[in-house]
Amino acid sequence: MDNNVMHAKDLQQTSFNQKIIKFGVKFLAYLFLCTMALIVLFPFYWMIISSLKSLAEYRLNVPTFWPKKIIWYNYVEAFNAANLGKLFVNTMIVGVASTLLSLVITVLSAFAFARLEFKGRDTMFTLLLATMMIPGELFTITNYTTVTQLNWMNTYTVLIVPFLVSVFYIFLLRQNFLQIPNELYLAAKVDGTSDLKYLWKVMVPLALPTLISITILKMMGAWNSYMWPRLVANDEAHRLITNGLRNAFTTTTGDVNYPVQMAAVALVSAPLFLVFIFLRKYIMAGVSRSGIKG
Amino acid sequence: MVDNKQQWKAWLYLSPAIVLLLVFTVWPIFNTVRMSLLENYSGLKAAGGAVFEFGIGNFQKVVEYKRFKECLTNTVLLCVLTVPISTLLALLIAVTLNSIKPLQKLLQTIFFLPYVTNSIAIGMVFAAMFNIIGLRPDGVTADTWGIINNVIQFFGGKPVNWVNQGSQYWANMTVMVVYIVWNALPFKILVLLGGLQSINKQYYDAAKVDGTSRKRVFTRITVPLLSPMLAYVIITGFIGGFKEYSSIVGIFGETMGPPDAAGRLNTMVGFIYDALSTNSQGRASAAALILFAIILAVTLFNNMVIKKHTHY
Amino acid sequence: MKRILALLLLVVMVIGLAACGGTKTPTGTTNAGTVNFTVPEGGYDGSAVEIKFYHTMGANLREVLDAYIVEFNKLYPNITIISEQVGGYDDVRDQISTEIPAGNQPNIAYCYPDHVALYNLAGAVTTLDGLIDSTIEITRADGTTETLGLTAEQKADFIEGYYNEGKEFGDGLMYTMPLSKSTEVLYYNKTFFDANNLTVPTTWDELEALCAQIKTIDPSCIPLGYDSEANWFITMCEQYGSDYTSASDDHFLFDNEQNHAFVKKFNEWYNKGYLTTQILYGAYTSGLFTAQTGTKSYMSIGSSAGATHQRPDMVDGVYPFEVGIATIPQVDANNKKVISQGPSLCIFQKENPQEVIASWLFVKFLTTNVAFQAEFGMASGYVPVLKSVGENPVYKEYLGSADGGAYIAALSAKICLEQESAYYTSPAFNGSSTARDQVGALMAKCLTLTGDVDSQIAAAFQDAIDECEYHS
């Protein structure tokens, strides 16, 4: 009897301890995440408050953590600086077209590298990785000459085509495909499923979080690209949003008007942020459901 | 045995990528090699009708540069320090984030936010945080010590001269490491979180049934299954690390170092930019190819190590 | 292992191919140095041409420009000006140096001398001498005529230092026309100066005494803030008449006794707490000058175009102190030297000579039109390049309103116009901007030295020279 009671007490004690530990772990987890979140959030906060300061306040020796006087006009100025509607449409066209095409190319290449056996596969892949290592600025001059000879200046083509292949994304997706058990592929082969069908029905859904990450990154690339578009398509009809907004940044003395620049950056970032909020649930949607069943 | 049909199919799938790469990547690389082997090649001079001798003078000049070793050391040091730190931190955040329910969405959004924040903004925040304004020659009087030093002083420490004149090399490096790690976090978290989401929940369910400990689940299931993604962030981290340049400009400006030691933090890519600014593409190309050779060697080495430890 | 071998093989192949592609003839001379444009007979034939003009103007300046393009087209309806804002000055330079090899360069561009030196590597910038000297009469759309070149009066109307900037390329030829200029001026706290009976310094010796005096009044202050270390160094070379750089063969000459001496002198001043610079202070020195609390400065040397930054924020609707503006201190008050900065215009070579002539007509229109110069100057805070703008009624009224508060930009312009004979520009060559960066860093570094200053200064100079020579 006594023994039994003792045992029950012990059990109670253990489960209590476990609860404490569990709570402690949870607490630490949240503490860690929140601290990191605050640290990570700081530049974002800084961008917003800087965008609302006057240039004089921005140049103060002792930086202020909250604008003394909120200058909403910076946003008006950034907005008025360019034909924002047209810039937005251009950027959307380039962003969507290059994202879609890039996804197709990336999926096909990553599949070949991850699942197909072919001669020279590893060498090809290493070579591909190697191309990432040369600073892009060195390519600009040669590529500029190439697109001039192709007569692509001031077209959407020149904004979309040269950067469709990203070794980064092929690499990323290949790594994701490698996570998917090979048994699935072999089983599909036995069933007589075609590669493309297998790719579309199994691989793509399983790699959805990565594909969405790539989509976001690629869209952001179109959004933030500056140097290349300015060189090759800086006409009214094709100008992209960053190029259009950059015009608001310089003051008459040639200094950068940072508050207005920050306002412009915030304006440009807002749609991206919304896209992310919208897509986030797809990234987070557990794909476990579509895994091997039974 | 590799069957022929797969061969043929593989190349078909790769063809769009290969065609585009040939035109917009391989050809420029070829051109880079050509420029590096023409003595003192400059695109503008060439446009003006100048012709250049063939030779390896560009490579010699790069290697003979008295700061070449310094640039290389800085580059390697930054890589070796930032990649492990940022990868571990990102992994920790991603795993923790994946393990909680309430607030997960909010926190995830927050961790992504810096990615839509312009890098100019981040650079300026950092510069302001570490910058000491009005430091007097005596080294103890200043007008504004900066937030970081304020925090140190709050805990009773002595303020550190991080980036201003008279600052030490290790202090400069610390700032760069913190800045680069910070910059690298959002992307790594995004990739690792995506990878975690792709791990079949059944593995975890099985572990639960078996009563496997948290630590064991982490080292035996999470890390191995995440290893392709970890390999990705590490390799791209190294490649990015070797190309470090703009982050140093962000903190130290074009002087690439504190005022009394300009160029002390210069990197290989910074060196390439210097050459490009006087239109010396020959020298820039030579430096780029040297950098390329170094990264290639490191990546091959990385690959060998990772192959041994990666579970595909 | 196989893979590495394959890679090596590929690298060898590529190098081999490249070797075949390389030409083996010795380096040719660049095209700069000879007159590269001769005006065809008849000058402008009235044909329709499109002129692309790259600049960095913000919205308010573009308005002024657009208004004068309309005026220009009344005279030359067949010349279409397409003006394009291309980010900042560096963006213009990068874009054009990429475009030149492909033959896509614009017709006219905003430029700094070192940009032109860069474009000159390709011989892409038109020499203006032939155009300036041309006496061909051109009939305009409104029936009036003008000389294609510059008349003697037009030439004489330019502020000399600004005009001569176009000839600083080592070959005596004219490559650029000045559009609008700025310089450095001395801003001082007039309220403080008046209250303490201080005199505005005209020489560096006076400045030294004044700093000592100010330090006794306000021991915690830093009397002078100098924004640009590079400008300071270059201006000191000019004021002492010592060597800085040369556009011909041996470019980097700044490592000499005189320059060591002035750097050492300023080092002493810095260590006495007399002055600071932007790099050393860690922020714009104008912030120190306009500060209402904490450490203050009472003098600030900065760009004349940034006058509004040197004005303190209003407190209860009034400026806390009045700003005075003067010429920067000199070595010799009778031989003043102040730097000339700000954009010029250059014209690019084109296959069709009519495009070049049309570009010249537009450049000439902008740089010699008094009304445009006046309006552009008022909108930008830059100084007009023509002396006669001072006689323009609108501009005269603007200068008349000059004060140390609301109309500080006008006061700055007024001082700039008064010192018209003092402007200089330093030689321009490919690498001149490297020299500029290096001497700026050198100055900042040397100011902070302590201990055995002489040998450290000598080492720092040698280091800067090495860097310049390596990167040129």
Give the pLDDT confidence of A162-192 residue by residue, as tens digits: 889 988 899 989 988 887 777 777 888 788 8
Q: Residue B179: which of B248, B226, B233 has the closest Cα?
A: B248
User: Are C118 and C189 found together in one domain?
Assistant: no
- Between CA A208 and CA C434 the distance in angstroms is 50
User: Are C441 and C298 found together in one domain?
Assistant: yes
Pick the residue of B63, B71, B143, B252 with the most C CBs within 10 A to test the interface with C by mutation: B143
Q: How far is CA C427 from each of CA A65, C186, C346, rounded to the nearest angstrom?
A: 44, 24, 16
Helix (H, G, I), strand (E, B) or coil at C50: strand
Residue C414 counted as domain residue: no
pLDDT band at A293 (very low <50, low <70, confident <90, very high): very low
Residue C27 counted as domain residue: no
Domain boundaries, given as residue ranges, for chain B: 67-277
Under 8 Å between Cβ of C361 and C79: yes
Beta bridge partners of C339: C424
Cβ B43–C118 below 8 Å, yes or no? no
Find chains touching chain C: ≥3 CB pairs under 8 Å.
A, B
User: Are C176 and C193 found together in one domain?
Assistant: no
Residue C130 counted as domain residue: yes
Nearest residue of chain B to residue C91 (CA atoms): B277
pLDDT band at C301 (very low <50, low <70, confident <90, very high): very high
A-chain residues near C377 (CB < 8 A): none
The pLDDT score that the predictor gives to residue C453 is 92
pLDDT band at A1 (very low <50, low <70, confident <90, very high): very low
The string of pLDDT tens digits covering residues B233-251 is 988 888 888 888 888 888 8
The string of pLDDT tens digits covering residues B251-290 is 887 778 887 888 889 998 888 888 888 888 899 999 988 8
The pLDDT score that the predictor gives to residue C392 is 93
Q: In whole numbers, what is the pLDDT of chain C averaged over residues?
A: 89
B135 touches chain C (CB under 8 A): yes
Q: Quick one: average pLDDT of C119-137?
A: 93
Pick the residue of B53, B260, B271, B274 with the most C CBs within 10 A to test the interface with C by mutation: B260
For residues A12 and A237, the model is more confident at: A237
Q: Quick one: average pLDDT of C172-189?
A: 94
Least-confidence region, from B181-190, C136-145, C376-385: B181-190
Number of separate domains in chain C: 2
User: Are C324 and C436 found together in one domain?
Assistant: yes
- Structural domain range at position C99: 49-181+342-400
Cβ C119–B261 below 8 Å, yes or no? no
The pLDDT score that the predictor gives to residue A5 is 55
Q: Quick one: average pLDDT of B291-301?
A: 81
The pLDDT score that the predictor gives to residue A250 is 56
Helix (H) / strand (E) element for C423: namely: strand C423-424
Residue C5 counted as domain residue: no
Model-level pTM? 0.84
- Between CA B295 and CA B291 the distance in angstroms is 6
Beta bridge partners of C185: C302
The pLDDT score that the predictor gives to residue A62 is 64
The pLDDT score that the predictor gives to residue C223 is 95
Question: Which of B 255-294 lie inside 8 A of C, CB atoms?
Answer: 255, 259-263, 274-275, 277-279
The string of pLDDT tens digits covering residues C22-69 is 333 333 344 446 788 888 888 898 899 999 999 988 778 889 999 999
Cβ C305–A62 below 8 Å, yes or no? no
ipTM, two decimals: 0.81
Residue B203 has pLDDT above 80, yes or no: no
Nearest-by-Cβ selection for A170 from B17, B93, B190: B17
Of how many residues is chain C composed? Answer: 472
Q: Does B67-277 carry CATH code 1.10.10.10? A: no
The pLDDT score that the predictor gives to residue B174 is 94
Q: How far is CA C317 from each of CA C313, C324, C405, rounded to the nearest angstrom?
A: 9, 19, 11
Residue C176 has pLDDT above 80, yes or no: yes
The pLDDT score that the predictor gives to residue A63 is 67
CA distance, residue A9 to nearest chain B CA (Å): 22
CA distance, residue B126 to nearest chain C CA (Å): 13
The pLDDT score that the predictor gives to residue C19 is 43
Final residue in a domain of this structure, among C379, C400, C421: C400
User: Are C102 and C150 found together in one domain?
Assistant: yes
Q: In whole numbers, what is the pLDDT of chain A averaged over residues?
A: 78
The pLDDT score that the predictor gives to residue C275 is 93
Cβ C472–B278 below 8 Å, yes or no? yes
b/e string for C40-65 if b means 16 or more Cβ within 10 A?
eeebbebeebebbbbbbbbeebbebb
Nearest-by-Cβ selection for B49 from C31, C430, C466: C31
Q: Tokens in use for B249?
A: 């400009």
Q: Where are the alpha helices (DSSP H) in chain B?
A: 4-21, 27-36, 43-47, 57-64, 68-99, 104-116, 119-130, 147-154, 169-198, 201-210, 214-217, 223-242, 246-252, 268-277, 281-309
Residue B2 has pLDDT above 60, yes or no: no
Nearest residue of chain C to residue A251 (CA atoms): C58
The string of pLDDT tens digits covering residues B57-73 is 999 999 888 888 899 99
CATH of the domain at C357: 3.40.190.10
The pLDDT score that the predictor gives to residue A256 is 63
The pLDDT score that the predictor gives to residue A288 is 41
- Straight-line distance from the first to the last Cα atom of chain B, in angstroms, rounded to the nearest whole number: 20
Q: What are phi and psi of C21, to 5 degrees?
A: -70, -25
Q: Which amino acid is at B203?
A: Y
- Between CA C148 and CA C453 the distance in angstroms is 57
Under 8 Å between Cβ of B242 and B79: yes
Final residue in a domain of this structure, among C350, C385, C400: C400
The pLDDT score that the predictor gives to residue C240 is 96
The string of pLDDT tens digits covering residues A244-288 is 766 555 555 555 677 777 787 777 778 777 877 777 766 555 444
For residues B123 and C286, the model is more confident at: C286
Largest Cα separation within chain B, whole Å, is 76
The pLDDT score that the predictor gives to residue A214 is 86
User: Are C459 and C311 found together in one domain?
Assistant: yes
B-chain residues near A210 (CB < 8 A): 191, 194-195, 198
Above pLDDT 90, what percent of chain C?
Answer: 67
Q: Quick one: average pLDDT of B31-39?
A: 92
The pLDDT score that the predictor gives to residue A6 is 55
Above pLDDT 70, what percent of chain C?
Answer: 93
Question: Which of C 369-398 lie inside 8 A of A, CB atoms?
Answer: 379-382
The pLDDT score that the predictor gives to residue C27 is 36
- Between CA C222 and CA C294 the distance in angstroms is 11
b/e string for A79-88 if b means 16 or more Cβ within 10 A?
eebbebeebb
Above pLDDT 90, what percent of chain B?
Answer: 22
For residues C393 and C295, the model is more confident at: C393
Cβ B6–A118 below 8 Å, yes or no? yes
Residue C183 has pLDDT above 70, yes or no: yes
User: Are C335 and C346 found together in one domain?
Assistant: no
The pLDDT score that the predictor gives to residue C206 is 96
User: Are C329 and C464 found together in one domain?
Assistant: yes
